[in-house]
Structure 1
Amino acid sequence: MKNALHLMTGIFILTLFASCGSNKDLQERAPAQFNEVYYTYTSNGIQLNIPVAAIQDQRITMDAVYFHGMKSELNKSEEKPNLYVANFRMGSEDMIMHEDPKEEYGNRPPQLPEESPFSIDEDEAILVFTQYDKLKYYKLTGIVEKE
């Protein structure tokens, strides 16, 4: 009887911890109203642009995005108030190579790959946002390339 009680307690604790760790679900409702999401190639890599038509800034903060096998922070554009931008470094900018390593200071390495917590296609991204102090995920689809 005592062994059965220990076994049941152990199973309960494992189930409790397993349910806490698997709380990464994609949200079906968008955290904001988005216009057409697009990306462009820059001299440094890829710039993902997320235009927002409406968002409740008091409840939601846009944190990061997974796109093309990388993760980047989302920043609000200074020129356009309703545009969030993520920059992904591809390592294509000119690097200073010098025999004195001090002269190479400031070279930025390419961004390391970081796998998305969900499987996505080439025209999709995972938006990471915070709502009421809870981390949530939303899949952006139909992302197009612009020149």
Structure 2
Amino acid sequence: MIKSLFFMVGLFTLVLFASCGSNKGLQERSPAQFNQVYYSYNSDGIELTIPVASIQDERVSLDAVYFHGMKSDLNKNAEKPNLYVANFRMGSGDMVMDKDPAKEYGNKPPQMPEKSPFDIDEDEAILVFTQDDEIKYYKLTGIVEKD
């Protein structure tokens, strides 16, 4: 009887620690208030757009994002400061192919795949941000495609 009790307690503890470890580092609270996050395809690949309703610029910095098996830096839109954009090069687009390698100089290679530190679905992304000099992660969900 006591052996089975110890076995059950041990099993419960193992399951508890295993489930906590899968989301280690993933923040529950959003670093900012976001509007609908969307992506679109362009001639170079995928452009992920993250509209921010409000953010504490002095404490939070949005740095990068994992999406569709790739990682890209986030850039603030120059015209609209509340818009962050990540570009993922997929190698589609016009490339110069010539026997003279100097003429191919301007070609951009496709972006290499980079696995996300967390499991995500097709309509999700992992946002990498810095808050109070500490790197943190937040899962963006419900990402839609726009034309």
TM-score (norm: length of structure 1) = 0.83
Cα deviations by residue, 1:62-101 (Å, 9 ceiling, x for unpaired): 0000000000000000121100000000100111111111
Give the structure 2 partner of residue 73 of structure 1.
73
Unaligned runs of 5+ in 1: 1-21
Give the structure 1 partner of residue 101 of structure 2.
101
Provide the C-alpha distance between the structure 1 equivalents of 2:66 and 2:57, rounded to a whole number of angstroms: 21
Provide the C-alpha distance between the structure 2 equivalents of 1:76 and 1:132, rounded to a whole number of angstroms: 19
Answer yes or no: is the 8 Å Cα contact 1:24–1:137 preserved in 2: no
Provide the C-alpha distance between the structure 2 equivalents of 1:23 and 1:30, rounded to a whole number of angstroms: 15
Residue 82 (str. 1) matches residue 82 (str. 2): yes
One-letter amino acid matched to 1:54:
S
Q: Give SS of 2:122's match.
A: coil
Answer yes or no: is the 8 Å Cα contact 1:24–1:136 preserved in 2: no
Provide the C-alpha distance between the structure 1 equivalents of 2:136 and 2:23, rounded to a whole number of angstroms: 9
Cα deviations by residue, 1:46-65 (Å, 9 ceiling, x for unpaired): 00000000000000000000
Unaligned runs of 5+ in 2: 1-21
Instruction: Kindly state the Cα deviation for residue 32 of structure 1 after the two structures are TM-superposed.
Output: 0.1
Name segments (4+ residues, structure 1) moved above 4 Å: none
Provide the C-alpha distance between the structure 2 equivalents of 1:44 and 1:24, rounded to a whole number of angstroms: 34
Provide the C-alpha distance between the structure 2 equivalents of 1:55 and 1:117, rounded to a whole number of angstroms: 24
Q: Trace 1:18-97 onto structure 2 (pairs within 5 A).
A: 24-97=24-97
Identity %: 76
Q: Give SS of 1:47's match.
A: strand
One-letter amino acid matched to 2:39:
Y
Give the structure 2 partner of residue 145 of structure 1.
145
Q: How many residues align?
A: 126
Give the structure 2 partner of residue 19 of structure 1.
none
Answer yes or no: is the 8 Å Cα contact 1:37–1:51 preserved in 2: yes
One-letter amino acid matched to 2:69:
G
TM-score (norm: length of structure 2) = 0.83
